[in-house]
Amino acid sequence: MTATAHKVKITYCAECGYESQTLDLARSLMLEFGQRLGSIELIPWEGGTFDVSVDGELVHSMSREGGFPEHEAVKRAVRARLS
Amino acid sequence: MKVDRARFDQGMTYDDFKAQMTRNRERVEENERRVDISPNDLAAFRGLPKPIHTLVLAEDWCGDVIANLPVLARLAQESGKLDVRVFLRDQNDDIMQGYLNQGQYKSIPVFVFFDGDFREIGHWIERPASVTALRAKRRAEIFRAHPEFGAPDGPVDQLPEDVRARLSTELQKVRDETTPFANAEVIREIRELVSRVAA
């Protein structure tokens, strides 16, 4: 396990029903990084939100980028912090 | 995509749509109960010369569908003048492509109104602009009154959990308090559209 606990937070619009996309992304990160991630936090929210942050830095925002993130793009952001 | 009688008849009734919902049915039915139709509006819909075929594009995960489709449904139930058929957006992309919001977004719900010969009378997408504006104004007021909530477009995941919970409560309050206005605006806009058939 790394000394630094890297944190991923996924904020998703619960009223929009983005649970499946949220769980798919969380699962993908769990399988790729396992214990190298300190935590993956899922935050039910509103207003069409689907935001992903890694260690406090927003790496994807549905309102900014449009749509859901490519899993690989989020993984790249995580890898950059692990290395 | 030209919608004709045969295609229209492939749609679900409102009750069939509700029966196949995998989520949010309770919210839809609660919203149905909260719709208040004025006698004047009801008389206008009941006074339509002929029933209007009303095509709906929807999905059960969409907040605007959950909020606004029940308004249309109550108008249909109480006036007897809107013949509603619901199509799932993601299974009917050919229809969706004809009603993109601003020519690019697959916003729902979409209500398309046809006369007896399936000539389009008009269509309605997502929610009234007046509702979007009011909620944005109320949201801005909340953030001005509560500096602890940060910037209106700031990432909520940076907020402490207790602050986030308070913000969520405030935003829910805005939605609840603006619902009567939103429903009235939906009714007003639909009434304007369908009145064209009577003009």
Q: A5 lies in a domain?
A: no
Nearest CA in chain A to B108: A16
Average pLDDT over residues B89-114: 93
Please check whether residue A53 touches B, CB under 8 A. Answer: yes
Q: How confident is the model at residue A1 (pLDDT cuts 50, 70, 90)?
A: very low
Q: A3 lies in a domain?
A: no
A51 vs B168: CB contact, 8 Å cut-off? no
Shortest CB distance from A51 goes to which of B155, B164, B171? B155
Q: Are B118 and B4 in contact (CB under 8 A)?
A: yes
For A67, the domain range is 14-82
Q: A4 lies in a domain?
A: no
Q: How many Å apart are CA B165 and CA A82, to the nearest integer?
A: 31
pLDDT in tens, B30-68: 999 999 999 999 999 999 999 999 999 999 988 899 999
B153 vs A63: CB contact, 8 Å cut-off? yes
Instruction: Please report the pLDDT score of residue A48 as a whole number.
Output: 81
Instruction: Please report the pLDDT score of residue A2 as a whole number.
Output: 45
Q: A56 lies in a domain?
A: yes
Say which DSSP state A40 is in: E
Q: How many Å apart are CA B89 and CA B108, to the nearest integer?
A: 8
Q: A69 lies in a domain?
A: yes
pLDDT in tens, A41-82: 999 998 888 999 999 999 998 877 878 899 999 999 999 998
Q: How confident is the model at residue B19 (pLDDT cuts 50, 70, 90)?
A: very high
A17 vs B156: CB contact, 8 Å cut-off? no
- Write out the CATH class of domain B5-127+181-198: alpha beta
Please check whether residue A17 touches B, CB under 8 A. Answer: yes
CATH code (residue A33) = 3.40.30.10
User: Which residues on neighbouring strands pair with residue A58, listed in sequence order?
Assistant: A53
* Annotated domain spans of chain B: 5-127+181-198, 130-172
> For the purposes of burial, counting CB atoms within 10 Å of the CB of A58, is it exposed (0-12), middle (13-18) or buried (19 or more)?
middle
Q: How confident is the model at residue B178 (pLDDT cuts 50, 70, 90)?
A: very high
Say what angle helices B161-198 and B39-46 make with each other, to 10 degrees: 40
**pTM value surpassing 0.90:** no
Average pLDDT over residues B143-157: 90
pLDDT for B79 beyond 50: yes
Q: How confident is the model at residue B154 (pLDDT cuts 50, 70, 90)?
A: confident
Nearest CA in chain A to B168: A45
Most confident of A19-28, B59-68, B100-109: A19-28
Q: How many domains does chain A have?
A: 1
Q: How confident is the model at residue B199 (pLDDT cuts 50, 70, 90)?
A: low
